[in-house]
DNA sequence: CAGAATCGTAACTAATAAAGTTACATGAAA
DNA sequence: TTTCATGTAACTTTATTAGTTACGATTCTG
């Protein structure tokens, strides 16, 4: 089944924005993420509505972070996307008349809800700053060199 | 995203088989489950290979349980289906060169693996007998009446 | 003010996988 | 030998994200 990769996509965007340090356009981000600027804008729309990022139109416009990395949990980002369905597994009939099917739905739903609760809790424990701090030193050095160079110009 | 309802479907089939007590054809099951006999056969194929059910061709053939309800956990059934993907959420790029994306994948994968492990563990704790015993008394009585009536004939 | 850069969004296409359907070969019983 | 079943291939349908095209609205620059 085809996966929903929007959470992965916007997390990638947010951390590239943090690494870049300045406004990035949808086209910049699309290049980093090997996708299309419209996909970036469409997917980031929820984050803008939630205040996690800001966007500016017009010449010199683009995307900036709306909060510190440490103040954005993965759960915040997931919620800003509209809390999309976590599971690919589901019930064959959602409100069945059959008592057998209802009993099955109840049990499966129970197990799925537990797993979803654990997942969302874990996402709530992780901030963008946690991920950022885990990124390997070589990359940090690379980013730093890029910043230094751009400041020279 | 469209859901994979095969687990729900075959659990429903197994418990109807248990309730019915005798061989049921794919057409019988398809009626119970409001689907197509070919969908039943296709989906049950994995359960046959795993020994959870048996099938007989030809006149008087059909499906029978291969084990006691108490000896079949939901995890067994899930595994017999080929352990289909649990999550609708996934990584945008599975093996990215970008260090940021790798860090994101690592974190997301970790959280998803934990949630999946919990789900599979819960499925392992539940047997078909557990679900069967939870089905409301009115239905049990209904099934019993049907059995008695068919024995009278 | 003209023009370029940029987002916002609608509308369409592509890709994917389960579900549903049709068709037919195989096998078993009456 | 006919009928009733399963087994399976192949095709259609459906739903959803991803990708693309197009264009309007906005904002900076010269």
The backbone torsions φ and ψ at residue A73, rounded to the nearest 5 degrees and listed phi first, read: -90, 160
Whether the per-residue pLDDT at B54 is higher than 70: the answer is yes
B84 and B46 Cβ atoms separated by less than 8 Å:
no
Q: For the purposes of burial, counting CB atoms within 10 Å of the CB of A151, is it exposed (0-12), middle (13-18) or buried (19 or more)?
A: exposed
What pLDDT shows up at residue A70?
Answer: 95
Contact A25, A34 (CB under 8 A): no
Q: Which two tokens stand for residue B93?
A: 């790029």
Residues paired with A4 in a beta bridge: B89
**Chain B hits for A8, Cβ within 8 Å:** 89-92, 101, 104-105, 108
Chain A residues 34-73 with a CB less than 8 Å from chain B: 34-35
Mean pLDDT (whole number) for A116-136: 92
pLDDT value at A59 more than 90: yes
Q: In the predicted model, what is the mean pLDDT of chain A?
A: 89
The residue among B2, B4, B7, B8 with the most chain A CBs within 10 A of its CB, best to mutate, is: B8
The structure tokens listed for A43 are 């997917």
pLDDT over threshold 60, residue B85: yes
Amino acid A6 CA to nucleotide C12 C1' distance, rounded Å: 21
Kindly report, residue by residue over B100-112, the tens digit of the pLDDT. Answer: 999 999 999 999 9
Residues within 8 A of B (CB atoms), A 4-33 only:
4-5, 7-9, 11-12, 15-16, 19, 32-33
Instruction: Walk me through the domains of chain B, giving residue ranges and CATH numbers.
Output: 6-85+127-152 (1.10.10.10)
pLDDT score recorded for residue B95: 80
């Amino acid at each position: 089944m085809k996966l929903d990769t929007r959470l992965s996509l916007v997390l990638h965007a947010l951390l590239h924005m943090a690494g870049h340090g300045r406004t990035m356009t949808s086209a910049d981000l699309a290049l980093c993420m090997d996708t299309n600027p419209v996909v970036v804008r469409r997917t980031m729309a929820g984050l803008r509505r939630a205040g996690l990022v800001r966007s500016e139109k017009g010449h010199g416009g683009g995307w900036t972070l709306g909060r510190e990395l440490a103040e954005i949990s993965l759960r915040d980002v997931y919620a800003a996307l509209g809390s999309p369905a976590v599971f690919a597994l589901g019930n064959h009939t959602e409100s069945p008349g059959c008592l057998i099917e209802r009993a099955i739905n109840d049990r499966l739903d129970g197990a799925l809800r537990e797993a979803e609760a654990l997942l969302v809790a874990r996402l709530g424990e992780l901030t963008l700053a946690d991920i950022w701090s885990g990124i390997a030193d070589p990359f940090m050095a690379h980013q730093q060199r890029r910043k230094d160079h751009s400041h020279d110009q």
